[in-house]
Amino acid sequence: MESLRHELARFIQQPAAQQDPPALYRRLLAEAPVLDLGRVHVVSGYQEIVTVLMHPGTAVDPTAVGLPRAGSTALARIVNRMLPMRDGADHTRLKRLATTAFSARRLEQMRARIESTAARLLDPLLAAGSFDVVADLAVPLPVAVSCAILDIPDSEQDRVTGWAQLVARSLLDDFGEQADPAHIAALDAEFDEFRAYVEELCAARAAAPGDDLISRLTVARADGRLDHDDLLAFVVMLLANGLETLTSGLALAVWQLLREPALAELLRARPERAEAVFDEAQRLGSPVRASARALTGEVAVGGTVIPAGRVALLLYAAANRDPRRFAEPDRFDPDRAELRHLAFGHGAHHCLGAPLSLMAGAAVLRGLARAGETRELSTPLTPDTVPWSTQFVFGGMRELPLRCPPRAGGGPDLAGPDVPGRLAEPAGLAGAVRG
């Protein structure tokens, strides 16, 4: 067991050393789906994680077990008020305010805008002949989708993207007692600009409300159901939604498409399967590797009783390959029957934006599959040379160069989906508690 603990510790501390360690996951699932590391218990089994997530004696707030909140900046204090960082009745109250905006009817109304937004970004990149999937597509697309559904003009997206990246960095930075005061001051100054923008946006919607989520939130503030900082945190969350998660998920899905040329043929023949392909890429790649819960009461899970006061580190990446849940879990199979994985969380904290992510990811995959008829899509990267993320909670790639020169004698890029074609083979802990 000590060798397993050592291997797991190395993976947590040096995740870029092996982005996708199925052998480690298999050992954890077979030998210790609940592994005691002292104050932290690592939970890797699918059902074991679900048990923790659904248990009433858990909290996302680390202060519930005496741990400090991550971050001391003004932005960190707003991040700690966001919906995913709230517990119990407070979380339920806030989530109820957003639920109607993510109803099946409203989501379907958003589909055309999301697909047109994805095409607006992807088409000029393909025309250029090469681009970086991460920087040029997977970073701007989540913000563009958020701006589209919140009725924010395209002209504002570059500024909002910069601020969204600021929020994403704040989720990962460790601002302890040794933090550089000048660095914190610079972050606070940058966030002040974002805060002013959001407050101006909310004031405009309050003065002339529309049928958008920000307008409804300003009404909730006027009715006393939200205070000023709750509203600010909500809108900041909406604008930054998807960075790190959808960004990583998009890169992982495109990487899978490049490695499995038959997927492009499937998507051209059956474009309606694109969401299932993207969803399976999320299961296999797990862009959110792990989350955690503070245990306010003892939790019996997998034959182990974890005492109150401990932290359960939930290793989603392992659970999404649990053979007790997924047949042949290391195989990419968009047709598998067990579609409920943990890439978007589970229970009360299941991601509200998951359907939007599926729509956006599917639109990108369909666009690339169509382009593969007339362009040679490839990447110079191999599994051994991929620059994986260097931090633990969010997986994914730091970059994914994609080459897409026109094929000799190729027709227009937007040819119909029924023409056969192939993509070219490629060459060759406090912070986690809040997830």
Every domain of the chain and the residues it spans? 2-433
What's the mean pLDDT in 301-326?
95
Going by their DSSP bridges, the two strands 40-43 and 311-315 should be labelled as parallel
Task: Say if residues 263 and 364 touch (Cβ distance below 8 Å).
Answer: no
Output the pLDDT for position 372: 95
User: What percentage of residues in the chain have a pLDDT greater than 90?
Assistant: 53
What is the C-alpha separation between 21 and 41, in angstroms, rounded?
A: 19
Output the pLDDT for position 107: 83
Q: Which two tokens stand for residue 25?
A: 């996951």
104-129, pLDDT tens digit by residue? Answer: 888 888 899 899 999 999 999 999 99
The answer, yes or no, to whether residue 343 has pLDDT greater than 70, is yes
One-letter identity of residue 189: A
Q: Find all residues with CB under 8 Å of 75, minimum gap 6, and list them.
A: 166, 167, 170, 187, 188, 191, 194
What is the C-alpha separation between 150 and 106, in angstroms, rounded?
A: 12
Of the candidates 278, 392, 286, 260, the one whose C-alpha atom is nearest the C-alpha of residue 341 is: 286
The H or E element spanning position 41 is strand 40-43
354-367, pLDDT tens digit by residue? Answer: 999 999 999 999 99
Task: Say if residues 408 and 369 touch (Cβ distance below 8 Å).
Answer: no
What is the C-alpha separation between 264 and 367, in angstroms, rounded?
A: 10
Highest mean pLDDT pick, 40-44, 161-165, 417-421: 40-44
What is the C-alpha separation between 186 and 170, in angstroms, rounded?
A: 13
Confidence of residue 414 (pLDDT cuts 50, 70, 90): very low
Q: Which two tokens stand for residue 30?
A: 């077979």
Q: Find all residues with CB under 8 Å of 213, minimum gap 6, and list them.
A: 98, 101, 149, 150, 238
Q: Which two tokens stand for residue 379?
A: 């990447």
DSSP 113-180: HHHHHHHHHHHHHHHHTEEEIIIIIITHHHHHHHHHHTT--GGGHHHHHHHHHHHHHHHH----TT--
Output the pLDDT for position 18: 64
58-93, pLDDT tens digit by residue? Answer: 999 888 887 777 666 788 888 888 888 899 888 998
Highest mean pLDDT pick, 346-355, 361-370, 411-420: 361-370
Neighbours of 77 (CB within 10 A): 14
Of the candidates 416, 435, 376, the one whose C-alpha atom is nearest the C-alpha of residue 130 is: 376
The tokens 């934006």 sit on which residue? 353
366-411, pLDDT tens digit by residue? Answer: 999 999 999 999 999 998 899 988 888 888 899 999 999 998 765 5
Say which CATH architecture domain 2-433 belongs to.
Orthogonal Bundle (1.10)
Is 190 strand, coil or helix? Answer: helix
Confidence of residue 179 (pLDDT cuts 50, 70, 90): low
CA distances (Å), origin 332, targets 96, 390, 411:
35, 24, 31
Output the pLDDT for position 73: 76
What is the C-alpha separation between 248 and 287, in angstroms, rounded?
A: 5
What is the C-alpha separation between 167 and 246, in angstroms, rounded?
A: 15
Q: Find all residues with CB under 8 Å of 71, minimum gap 6, and list them.
A: 77, 79, 80, 170, 173, 175
Output the pLDDT for position 117: 92
What is the C-alpha separation between 89 and 399, in angstroms, rounded?
A: 40
Confidence of residue 55 (pLDDT cuts 50, 70, 90): very high
DSSP 210-269: -SSHHHHHHHHHHTTSS-HHHHHHHHHHHHHTTTTHHHHHHHHHHHHHHH-HHHHHHHHH
